[in-house]
Chains A and B, each alone.
Chain A
Amino acid sequence: EVQLVESGGGLVQPGGSLRLSCAASGFTFSTYWMHWVRQTAGKGLVWVSRIDDDGGSTTYADSVKGRFTISRDNAKNTLYLQMNSLRAEDTAVYYCVRAQKSSRWTLGSWGQGTLVTVSS
């Protein structure tokens, strides 16, 4: 069974940093693209970032480019999202998502999410 367990969320002040982790199990982590997607009540679901299977290629939404960094450790079956220069509008539930093999931008399996709150 695919399991994705996010951690690292919490309350942080504007301008601060946070690192999210996603522990993966139940599948061969090193062979799948992975994504981060966030959700707010106001803006709904918003794609944030993706990384290919070996970590050699990454892509970001314009809203987080230059502030967020996605990475992975295939030896530890773990996905990361380093978030710097956080803003109030980054407040959201962040989901770790495994892509489909057949369609790498299809969001096949989702974690339970971790809440990030940016507030003073």
Chain B
Amino acid sequence: DIVMTQSPLSLPVTPGEPASISCRSSQSLLHSNGKNYLDWYLQKPGQSPQLLIYLGSNRASGVPDRFSGSGSGRVFTLRISRVGAEDVGVYYCMQSLQTPSITFGQGTRLEIK
């Protein structure tokens, strides 16, 4: 299985400041079709996960444009341009290149300073 490793595991951020989370995979997630099979999810406290970014850099419907995804191959980044209180939660990356063995990162907990 492809192993997904996120860093940092804990991320305290001052409101209004930017934040970034890194996700590294044990194998390249770049398909021959040119797409990177890497998604980002956010699980807010007491809620189920929600899709933020799919195929590396595409924002899901309704996701604010302060969220952006970048990267290719084995290294990916989720950036939040200005963190707000509503962004608190655990962020997960997930690979879907190697199906059906899709795998998640261990999660990064974002908190407000």
Binding site for B on A (CB under 8 A): 44-47, 50, 59-62, 95, 100, 102-103, 105-113
Q: Which of A44, A50, A106, A112 contacts B48 (CB 8 A)?
A: A112
- Whether A108 lies near B60 (C-beta < 8 A) is yes
Give residues of chain B (45-62) contacting chain A, Cβ–Cβ below 8 Å. 47-51, 54-55, 60
Interface size class of B (residues with CB under 8 A): 20 to 34
Alpha-carbon gap, A103 to B47, bound state (A) = 23
Q: Tell me the number of A-to-B contacts counted with CB atoms below 8 Å.
A: 58
* Inter-subunit contact A106/B49 (CB<8 Å): no
> Which residues of B in the span 15-56 have a Cβ within 8 Å of any Cβ on A?
37, 39, 41, 47-51, 54-55
Is B55 a contact of A103 with CB atoms below 8 Å?
A: yes
Q: Is chain A's binding surface mostly helix, strand, loop or mixed?
A: strand
Select from chain B the residue with minimum beta-carbon distance to A65: B100
